[in-house]
Amino acid sequence: MRGILALIMLIVISKAASAQQSYFTCNKLAVYLTNGSVTIELPKVSKEKLRQQIHLFIKERNYVYKPYYSGEGLISFRDFAIICNKNKCGSDLIAMTMFHFAYDSGFVKITLDNEIYSSFYGGELIINDNDDVASKKDVPFAPYEFQIPEQYSDEYPESIYVFNKRGKIKIKNPDVEKVILDFFNRYIVDIRSYFEQ
């Protein structure tokens, strides 16, 4: 009986640990998929069925299909979403994320590219069909800086890392790092739950 209980506890703990797994890494330059990609194994699902499921997923999530980047066995689409606001992160952070789903019978391989933008002044960012980002009323915004010189730490409260004159880098904002990682991890968790249901 104890052996069975121990086995059940081990299974529960391992499932909880894998559920909290981070698919992304955040360093001084970017946030990216830790292994470069995530593959979802879907045995017994045909290539055509996967193509249909991917297009349905894009439609249901209100993502933007990108035919220019898509081709035989590859579907690309984009999302443009707020990561967090100024109250939580020191500046509004917005992500443009381009997903690439390579697929064939039995699997989907996910890769992605992203750009993060920062607007300290509360600019409402918009994106056009060509993926150009602008702000309404020309409110200033800029590409997000993961690291900044220590002397500008107050001017960039949203940055995760600072470096001194000797080039030594230290983390100054682990909370923002966690928010960014959680934001991107939610994409993969959502994708997995959609396709593995």
CATH of the domain at 47: 3.30.530.80
Answer whether residue 88 is part of any domain.
yes
Residue 138 Ramachandran class (φ > 0 left, ψ -120 to 50 alpha, else beta): left
Distance CA 146, CA 143 (A): 10
Domain that includes residue 56, residue range: 24-196
**How would you write the pLDDT of the chain (197 residues) with one tens digit per residue?**
554 544 444 344 444 444 457 999 999 999 999 999 999 999 999 999 999 999 999 999 999 999 999 999 999 999 999 999 999 999 999 999 999 999 999 999 999 999 999 999 988 999 999 999 999 999 999 999 999 999 999 999 999 999 988 889 999 999 999 999 999 999 999 999 999 98
Residue 190 lies in a domain: yes
DSSP 78: E
Domain annotation covers residue 84: yes
This prediction has a pTM of 0.87
Phi first, then psi, for residue 66 (nearest 5°) are -115, 90
The verdict on residue 116 lying in a domain is yes
Q: In total, how many domains does the chain have? A: 1
Does any domain span residue 7? no
| Bridge-based pairing state of the strands 161-163 and 147-149 | parallel
Residue 32 covered by a domain: yes
d(CA 156, CA 176): 12
Place of tokens 């894009």: 58
